[in-house]
Amino acid sequence: MAVSSTPGQQEYVPDNTTETISNGTLVPESVGKDDLRKWLNILSLVIAPVGLVGNGLVLWLLGFRIQRNHFSVYILNLAAADALVLGSFFVFYPWETVKAHLLYLLEDCILYMFYCVSMSLLAAISTERCLSVLFPIWYRCHRPKHTSAAVCAGIWALALLFWGGYLGVCFHLGCPKFWDDIGHLLAAWFIPVTSVLCVASLTLVLRVQCSSRRRQPPRLYLLVLLTVLVFLLCAVPLGIKIFLWSLSVFDFMPFRLALLLACVNSSANPFIYFFLGSRRRRRGREPLGVVLQRALGEEQESEIGDRDMPGEKLKIRDLRMNLIHLDALRRQNGRGRELL
C-alpha cells in the first residue's frame, strides 16, 4: 500500500541542495532545520511525562478519591483523552526516521483520534456551561441526570467509528493520498467542533463579564474559560497545520512546533485545575483531592445566572414549593384511602 508522505517525514528528509555561508564555511541549510526539529522533539518528550503525571493524578482523584458530579465526569474523560494524546507522543517519535507508512498511518490516526476527542469534550463542557447560564430554569429542572456520561460515551464512540473506520478502509483498500484524506477528515471534525466551542465560549465570556462587575466569577467558569483559551492558543494550530498541509500550504509553522503546542495543551489542564482550586491565603498545604474538588465544585454554578435574573430565581423557588405542596397532598390522599 503506497501512501503519501507525512509532514513529519517531509521535515525529516534533508535538503542538501541549498547551502548558506556561516563563518566563511558552506553549511547545508538542512542542518539548522534538523537542529530545530531535534530541540522541539526534546521539549515535547520533556513536557509529555509531566502532563502524563498531572492527568494521571486527575484520573486517580476523580476515579477513586472524589465523589463525581456531572461536570467532573467531563473532566475525567478530558483527562483520559489528554493522557492518551501525550502517550501517543512516545509511540510517534521513535518511528519518525523509519519509512514504514503503515506505522505512520496507525500512529497518526490514533493521535488525531484522541486529539478530536479532547477537542469535542471541551466543546461539550463549554456548551453545557453556556446553557446553565442562559437557561438556568431549564438546566436545573429538565436536564437529564446522565447527560454527561451519555455525551462522553457518544463522543468516544463516534471518534472510534470515524477514525477506526477510515483506518480499516486504508488497510483493506489502500489509501494513496493518505495525508490528503487525513487533512480533510480532520477539517470535517475540526471546523464544526471549533466553531461550537468558540461561540459557546464567547457567549460565556460576555455573560460572565456582564454579571461579574461587582463580584468575582465562580471558579468553575474561570476554569472553563482558561481551558478554552489554552486550547485555542496551543491545540488549534495543529489542526490548522494539518488542514493547510493537505491543501499544499506548508509555510504556516513547523510541524514539530504544532505538535509541541498540542503537547503543552494536553499537559496544562491539570495545572489549571489545581491552580484555581488552591487558596493562596492559606499557609498550610491542602490535600490535592480537596483542591481539585474545590475547583470543580458547583455550589456556585448558577450564581451568574441568578445574579441578573432575580425573577427567574423566584420562579424556581415557587416551583420547588409547589412540588413540595403537591407531594404533601398526594401523601395525605394516600393516607385517607388507607383509612377508608
**How confident is the model at residue 160, as a pLDDT?**
93
* CA separation for the pair 64, 59 (Å, rounded): 8
Amino acid at 262: A
How many C-beta atoms surround the C-beta of residue 97 within 10 A? 9
Categorise residue 253: left if φ over 0, alpha if ψ from -120 to 50, beta otherwise. Answer: beta
- The pLDDT of residue 117: 96
Task: Supply the DSSP symbol for 23.
Answer: T
Residues 117/93, Cβ–Cβ less than 8 Å: no
3-state secondary structure of 20: strand
DSSP state of 19: E
Map out the domains of the chain as residue ranges. Answer: 7-13+28-304
Per-residue pLDDT of the chain (340 residues; tens, 9 = 90+): 444 555 655 554 444 434 444 444 444 445 566 778 788 888 988 899 999 999 999 999 999 888 888 889 999 999 999 999 999 887 766 655 555 566 667 777 888 899 999 999 999 999 998 888 888 888 888 888 889 999 999 999 999 998 888 888 777 766 656 666 777 888 888 889 999 999 999 998 888 777 655 555 677 888 888 999 999 999 999 888 888 877 777 666 788 888 899 999 999 999 999 988 886 665 567 788 888 888 887 544 444 444 444 454 555 555 666 666 666 667 666 655 555 5
Write down the pLDDT at residue 287: 83
Report the pLDDT value the prediction gives residue 139, as an integer from 0 to 100. 83
Q: What per-residue confidence (pLDDT) applies to 98?
A: 53
Report pLDDT for 31. 53
Phi/psi of residue 188, nearest 5 degrees: -65, -30
What pLDDT does residue 307 have?
Answer: 45
pLDDT score recorded for residue 175? 65
Residue 330, H or E segment: helix 310-339
C-alpha cell at position 113 = 483520534
Paired strand residues for 25: 22
The SS3 call for residue 40 is helix
Q: How many residues make up the chain in this entry? A: 340
Which fold is adopted by the domain 7-13+28-304? Answer: Rhopdopsin 7-helix transmembrane proteins (1.20.1070)
pLDDT at site 304: 41
Q: Half-sphere exposure (CA, 13 Å, Cβ side) for 27?
A: 12
Which of 9, 37, 45, 35 is CA-nearest to residue 254?
A: 37
Cell of 16: 542538501
Query: Can you give the pLDDT at residue 205?
Result: 85
Note the pLDDT of residue 6.
Answer: 56
